[in-house]
């Protein structure tokens, strides 16, 4: 951040949570208060915050038990996606918006172009480096374009040649990371934004489980099994979505979330025996603690997994 040079240094570092707009991502605000020693720690925390947001802050919102199951699945695959041996020790500062348009290159007409600067460090922070090796945006703008596939193969070949020349006799770990970054790209795109989630989630699922069967969608049965089994408490999200739909219809307001106080004040406007009255009557008895227990158990399990992975490294 830039200060006045008197009360604060001309340039100084502040926690990201202090500069995020109040209307910005609730999840980003939650995870930006901490630092993380590895990609596993970071992304498990991010996915857990996402699940908590769906459950606690998006009551009756668009996300239903299916959405909860999808993000639960994404959290479960994190240990298999990240190579923690690529994580730099300590707390490396990484740019939050690193892509080709924020890299300054000089001598582009010569045989030896030179990278002179990386710009736009506004959202920089301590972040794991194992997710840093991902293809430039201009060769992943459409996963099905033949040109992109060809460009990625060319990129891998050039990267391997350069790394082998700069570090002869060493394991080309950076080249290998780029060559296997598809899963990371799909996962992080789905995790970061709702638009990309809706576009790429099925590709992520297929990337993990293999070929997609159009006639027998395994993903449907998988998510349904989660909701009916381990995540059966998530059915409550479906009920809350139905309550919100009735509340929007009756009150004529586009409720971004289910406001219990507002609904209670207008209880007389809702028909007896419908979703809203049933929800209000059982609000105090709804056992939401199983979610907390589930998150606590899962976080404990993932901590054990993470510790095991780090010990292997």
Are residues 175 and 150 both part of a single domain? yes
In a domain, 45, yes or no: no
Q: How far is CA 78 from CA 61, 75, 178, in A?
A: 26, 6, 17
Q: How confident is the model at residue 313 (pLDDT cuts 50, 70, 90)?
A: very low
Q: What is the mean pLDDT of the chain?
A: 73
In a domain, 161, yes or no: yes
* Average pLDDT rounded to a whole number, residues 169-173: 90
Q: Would you say the C-alpha torsion 229, 233, 239, 244 has a positive or negative sign?
A: negative
In a domain, 149, yes or no: yes
In a domain, 57, yes or no: no
> Which are the contacts of 248, defined by CB distance < 8 A and separation ≥ 6?
254, 255
In a domain, 32, yes or no: no
In a domain, 141, yes or no: yes
Q: Tens digit of pLDDT for each residue in 81-102?
A: 988 888 777 777 778 778 778 8
CA-based nearest residue to 229, from 80, 79, 53, 65: 65
Based on the structure, what is the number of domains in the chain? 2
Please give the pLDDT value at position 132: 81
Domain that holds residue 103: 95-123
Please give the pLDDT value at position 288: 39
Are residues 118 and 146 both part of a single domain? no
* Average pLDDT rounded to a whole number, residues 175-203: 87
Residue found by looking up tokens 């789905």 in the block: 190
Are residues 119 and 139 both part of a single domain? no
The 8-class DSSP code of residue 271 comes to P
Please give the pLDDT value at position 285: 37
Q: Please tell me which of 133-142, 143-152, 153-162, 272-281 the model is most confident about, judged by mean pLDDT.
A: 153-162
């Amino acid at each position: 951040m830039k200060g006045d040079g008197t009360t604060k240094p001309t340039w100084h570092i502040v926690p990201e949570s202090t500069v995020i707009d109040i209307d910005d991502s609730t999840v980003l605000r939650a995870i930006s208060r901490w630092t993380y020693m590895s990609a596993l720690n970071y992304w498990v925390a991010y996915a857990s915050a996402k699940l908590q947001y769906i459950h606690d802050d998006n009551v009756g919102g668009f996300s239903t038990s299916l959405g909860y199951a999808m993000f639960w699945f994404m959290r479960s695959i994190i240990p298999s996606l990240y190579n923690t041996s690529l994580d730099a020790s300590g707390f490396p500062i990484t740019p939050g918006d690193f892509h080709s348009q924020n890299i300054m290159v000089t001598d582009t007409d010569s045989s030896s172009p030179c990278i002179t600067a990386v710009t736009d460090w506004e959202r920089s922070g301590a972040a794991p480096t194992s997710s840093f090796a991902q293809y430039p945006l201009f060769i992943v703008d459409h996963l099905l374009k033949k040109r992109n596939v060809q460009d990625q193969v060319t990129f891998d070949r050039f990267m391997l040649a350069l790394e082998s020349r700069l570090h002869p006799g060493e394991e080309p770990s950076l080249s290998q990371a780029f060559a296997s970054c598809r899963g990371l790209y799909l996962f992080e795109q789905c995790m970061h934004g709702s638009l990309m989630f809706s576009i790429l989630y099925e590709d992520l699922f297929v990337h993990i489980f293999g070929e997609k069967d159009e006639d027998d969608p395994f993903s449907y049965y998988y998510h349904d099994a989660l909701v009916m089994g381990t995540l059966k408490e998530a059915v409550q999200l479906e009920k809350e979505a139905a309550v919100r739909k009735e509340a929007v219809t009756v009150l004529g307001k586009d409720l971004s979330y289910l406001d219990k106080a507002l609904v209670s004040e207008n209880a007389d406007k809702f028909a007896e025996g419908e979703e809203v009255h049933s929800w209000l009557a059982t609000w105090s008895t709804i056992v939401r603690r199983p979610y907390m227990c589930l998150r606590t158990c899962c976080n404990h399990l993932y901590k054990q997994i993470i510790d095991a992975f780090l010990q292997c490294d």
